[in-house]
Amino acid sequence: MRVAAETPKFAKALQRESGFPIFVAPYPMHGIEPLPYDTGDGPLTVLCGGSARADKGFFRLEHIVTQANRTIGVQNIRFLIQNLVVKEQLLYRDYVKKLYCIPNVTLLDGVLSYEEMAESYRQAHLSMMPYSQETYEFRGSAILMESLLQGRIVIGQARTAFAEQIKYYCGGDVCDSDLDFVEALRLLAESPRHYLKEQADMARRRYLADVDQAYDNWLGSAK
């Protein structure tokens, strides 16, 4: 039996505890093709996709968006945010109402089809992931992998296992606090869109090369 972990940090921890060699194998998602990218002069569009949960930073978004609007300007940035499922929207109606009332926020349904999720990526320039450091200390993220494969960079939470992957793939930036996310968004909003596209294309190539090598090493070692 051979074991692979989804992040290098998790692999190190498992190997330390078990004494056995642990491979690293990112998600094999070769079937996803990069989406068209808007390099025009419109607002920077930020996708906050995936399940709307506390450990994925959903309840940090109102503060990050509000501060970003003050720093960058409502007309210069736009947010696509996947909402809570209907049952939980009722539990947190005041918070959802705050998000809904922000003029440059579009709330997506809590459950999206693949086609709807792909459309949200198509509209976006990047994904934002202010995830819990505690929950994601060793965990990877399907949203990170999917974003890179769709041709979108990511800004994610520092001191998570996937933060190391963002750095390794040169796939965006990592941020610690809410204000760090705002500053990263400001810099990206001021960057030419074609530069962000070039960065995303390079990160995608790095990711796919890493997947190929990882699976060759992991599965090839069993021969």
Instruction: CATH number of the domain at 150, please.
Output: 3.40.50.2000
In a domain, 158, yes or no: yes
In a domain, 150, yes or no: yes
In a domain, 92, yes or no: yes
Q: How many folded domains does the chain comprise?
A: 1
> Could you give the percent of the chain with pLDDT greater than 90?
82
Domain coverage including residue 189: 27-214
pLDDT at residue number 27: 79
In a domain, 15, yes or no: no
In a domain, 18, yes or no: no
- Give pLDDT tens digits for 29-60: 667 789 999 999 899 999 999 999 999 999 99
In a domain, 16, yes or no: no
The Cα–Cα gap between 64 and 48 comes to 12
- Give pLDDT tens digits for 62-74: 999 999 999 999 9
Provide DSSP, 24-36. Answer: E-----TTPPPPP
In a domain, 185, yes or no: yes
The Cα–Cα gap between 75 and 108 comes to 20
In a domain, 102, yes or no: yes
Model pTM score: 0.93
Of 62-76, 153-167, 208-222, which range is least confident? 208-222
pLDDT at residue number 30: 66
Q: What are phi and psi of 45, to 5 degrees?
A: -110, 125
The Cα–Cα gap between 93 and 54 comes to 15
